[in-house]
Amino acid sequence: MSAPFALALHGGAGPIRNSDQSRETANMGNLLEDGRAMLTKGAPAVDVVIAMIQGLEEAGFYIAGKGAAPNRDGKFELDASIMTSDRDSAGRRAGAVCALSGFLSPIAAARAVMDKTPHVLLAGEGAARFCAKAGLTRVDDPQNYYTPAASSLAGTDALAHGTVGCVALDTSGALCAGTSTGGVLNKMPGRIGDSPLIGAGTWADERVAISCTGQGEYFIRAAAAADVSARMKYAGMSVDAAAAGALADMERQGGDGGLIAVDAGGRIAMPFISHGMRRAACDGQGNITVSVFR
Ligand code: ASP
C-alpha cells in the first residue's frame, strides 16, 4: 500500500451566511483534484502547496493575489508565507514576504525567499528588489490587474474575508503549509497581519502543518499556528483538539476566524468560529469535500 497523503485548502473565514459561494467552491474542488493527482504521483508537499495557492491567487475570487484589496492609500501590498518540514525535525525551512507590491504571486515570492536566501522574511522595497532579481513575474499595471474580490463587501463592516491557504502531507512524510493574502480590508499602509508571520498565520514542523485565516492581530497575539503544534507536542493532544484549543485561545482575545491543519498521520482539522470558512479537503483515500458554512 502506498504511503498516505492528505491535502486541505481554505479561501478565508468570514463569508456572510446565505451569500452565493458557488464560484469559490467549484474553484477549490477543481484545484484539489489537481493536487490529489500531484500527490498520488509522489510530488513534494511544497510543490503542491505552491500550485494550490497560485491557483487560488489567480482566481481573483479571494482577497489574495488578483482579488486583493488596496490599502487606504489605494496601494496593493500583499503578504505570503510558506513553511515545510521533512519527517525528520532537522528539515524545517520557511520563507515569507510582506507589504510586497508589483508582483503577481506572493506565494512564489515567499518560496523564492525560502529557496534562495538565508532569511525567512523580506518586507516592502527590499522584498520587491529581491523578487525582480529572482525573475518573478511582475504586475505592470496594478489598477487594471487587480479585481478586488472585496468590492461586493462595500458597505459592510467586514474586515477579513478571503485570505487563502493550503496544508499538505506528501507520501514521503513531509508536511507543508502556506498562506497568501491582501490583508484586511481598508488596512493602514504598512499594516502586516498574521499571514506572513511564521508561527502566527503559518507553521509546519514534523508533527503538523497549519494555515490560519481571520483578523490577523488576534492570531499574532495568540501565536495561533505554532500553538497548535505546541499543544500536540507538550499536551499530547490530537490535531482536532489542538486546533480547537488554539482557536479558542485566539477567540478569548476577541478575535474571529479559523484554520486548517494536517498532521503527520494525514488527519485533517478545519475548525472556525466565524459564520463560515471556505474550505476543502482531500483525505488519504482520495475523497474530496468542499464546504463553506456549517
Ligand atoms: N489573516 C489575514 C490578515 O489579517 C486576513 C484574513 O485571513 O482574511 O491579514
Which superfamily is assigned to 6-291 in CATH? (Glycosyl)asparaginase (3.60.20.30)
More confident residue, 134 or 274: 134
Can you tell me the distance from the alpha carbon of 286 to that of 173, in angstroms, rounded to the nearest whole number?
16
Reply yes or no on whether the pLDDT at 155 is more than 70. no
Can you tell me the distance from the alpha carbon of 265 to that of 31, in angstroms, rounded to the nearest whole number?
22
Residue 158 confidence (pLDDT): 57
Q: Which of 101, 73, 106 is nearest to 180 (CA)?
A: 106
Residue 83 confidence (pLDDT): 98
If one residue of 194, 218, 250, 274 were mutated to test the ligand 1 pocket, choosing by the most ligand atoms within 8 A of its CB, it would be 194
Half-sphere CA count of 11, side-chain side, radius 13 A: 33
CB 200 within 8 Å of CB 224: yes
Ligand 1 pocket check for 213: Cβ under 6 Å: yes
Confidence of residue 20 (pLDDT cuts 50, 70, 90): confident
Residue 18 confidence (pLDDT): 75
Confidence of residue 160 (pLDDT cuts 50, 70, 90): low
Q: Which of 121, 91, 216 is nearest to 162 (CA)?
A: 216
Q: Is 202 a catalytic residue?
A: no
Q: Which atom of ligand 1 is nearest to the CA of 187?
A: 9
222-255 per-position pLDDT tens digit: 999 999 999 999 999 999 999 999 999 999 999 9
Q: What is the pTM of this model?
A: 0.96
Residue 19 confidence (pLDDT): 80
Q: Which residues contact 172 (CB under 8 A, 6 or more apart)?
A: 3, 42, 44, 86, 87
Confidence of residue 268 (pLDDT cuts 50, 70, 90): very high
Percent of the chain with pLDDT over 70: 95
Considering the chain, what is the average pLDDT of its residues?
Answer: 94
Residue 294 confidence (pLDDT): 86
| Cα dihedral 181/37/27/48 (nearest 10) | 0
Mean pLDDT of the 175-202 span: 96
Mean pLDDT of the 158-186 span: 91
56-104 per-position pLDDT tens digit: 999 999 999 999 999 999 999 999 999 999 888 788 999 999 999 999 9
Give me ligand 1 centre to Cα 3, in Å. 34
Output the CA–CA distances (angstroms, integers) from residue 2 to 5, 92, 96, 173, 278, in the order listed: 9, 24, 32, 12, 30
Instruction: Delimit the domains of the chain by residue range.
Output: 6-291
Ligand 1 pocket check for 67: Cβ under 6 Å: no
Ligand 1 pocket check for 179: Cβ under 6 Å: no
110-138 per-position pLDDT tens digit: 999 999 999 999 999 999 999 999 999 99
Give me ligand 1 centre to Cα 195, in Å. 6
Reply yes or no on whether the pLDDT at 275 is more than 50. yes
